[in-house]
Structure 1
Amino acid sequence: MNPSIMSNDKYKGKCVPSLSVANQSQLMVVGTAKDFGTCGSVTKQGNKCTNFVNRALCSTCRFHTMQEHKLQSHRRSELNTTYASREPGSATRSRLMSKLSTSKSSEECIIYGGQSFSSKSKPKTNVSVKGVLNRSKQKGNLQSTLNLYQIKPEDQKRLEASKAASRSKADEKLEELLGRPSTASMQFMRHLMSKELKGSSTTKIPQALLLKLNQRN
């Protein structure tokens, strides 16, 4: 392969080429190759397989290789088994929850069927629009999330007059993040405003008063 031409004074005037190669592994006989061959398997009729193969990679063709793999797979059950997580039923779920409720540890966690069951309840967040307003005033933010909304004056008074629940440091940090203008904070604040305004506008009417109103009508 890639030989260099040598000068041949002995056979001068004749069509006899003289070539030189670096090593003998680069020699190739014209018409044959070291990696060229045929499949070594036998067909069902007992004849030799005539499919061409690359001997540098394997001695059998793709068809007989896949056939042997399929035959060996049938003999090994672990190659034909699929594994999947099991969904816990209602009875199993209630049994796990009862075990967690009677557990002495407050942070016990049970993993079953790819799901985790914990006895520790998540802390409830007490984030309000009033808290975000106060946090923005304390920080002196010139541009906050609520400045991007056109809040009515009466709604502004109702939001500021609402009672703020006791908050933790995590709630204060969340209120500070909600005060920064972003797409997520605007969507979250829109949800809080609609929730608080809806809750503050509803009033409970006693049942006796409803009966009197119906009698008058």
Structure 2
Amino acid sequence: MLLVEDLQAAYGDSKVLFGMSLEVQRGQVVTLLGRNGMGKTTTVRTIFGLLKPRGGRVSIDGVDVTGAAPHRIARLGLGLVPEGRLIFPDLTVQENLMATARPGKWDLGRIHAMFPRLQERGRNMGNQLSGGEQQMLAIGRALMTNPDLIVLDEATEGLAPLIREQIWDCLIHLKSEGEAILVIDKNVEALARFADRHYVVEKGQVVWDGSTDDLKSNPQVKDRFLGV
């Protein structure tokens, strides 16, 4: 589904990615783990064409999209829940959901079934929502593009524990429906409940990868690279 090979990127003269490589297959839940400032969000931005790579390759279903425009990458089946949510503050909840919608199995009815609160708040403006509601809206908006792979950058950052559990339940449900997911988050224990594979990032490159069982049996990985 998604293949990233030896990806390199920089902001001006400051190089951030030094050969990132990862893979997400159809139906898989894959995590990108690491401390703050290690290059996770830069990886996502480069995959989506928001930052031009300095080297390496990104392909979607075998199609080389390295450095392609973001709209082209989105049309090939990638949906993004960005860090900070970035919902449209001057659109209503329903308008946010419909703004970038494409035909497919995910429609308003299914989004409302998953997040009833969004139906209740449908006429409210985006800037009138709580942080948890905004994250639900950001996920719903991404799903309304009917992607083949949904990418969540800092899936539960800053959310109350109850809302955080709702987001995890949502991702578990999406996995049960065969959705491919790439998720960045710091809650390793929660991710280990349903993720298939993990990539640990340190200073702009993958320093470890393996299955959930591999991660559980290697506590030194968490101690050394994740600070948990």
Q: TM-score range by the shorter chain?
A: under 0.3
More helix per residue: 1
Q: Which has the higher contact order (CA 8 A, sep 6+)?
A: 2
Which protein has the bigger strand share?
2
| Larger CA Rg, structure 1 vs 2 | 1
Q: TM-score scaled to structure 2, two decimals?
A: 0.19
Structure-1-length-normalised TM-score: 0.20
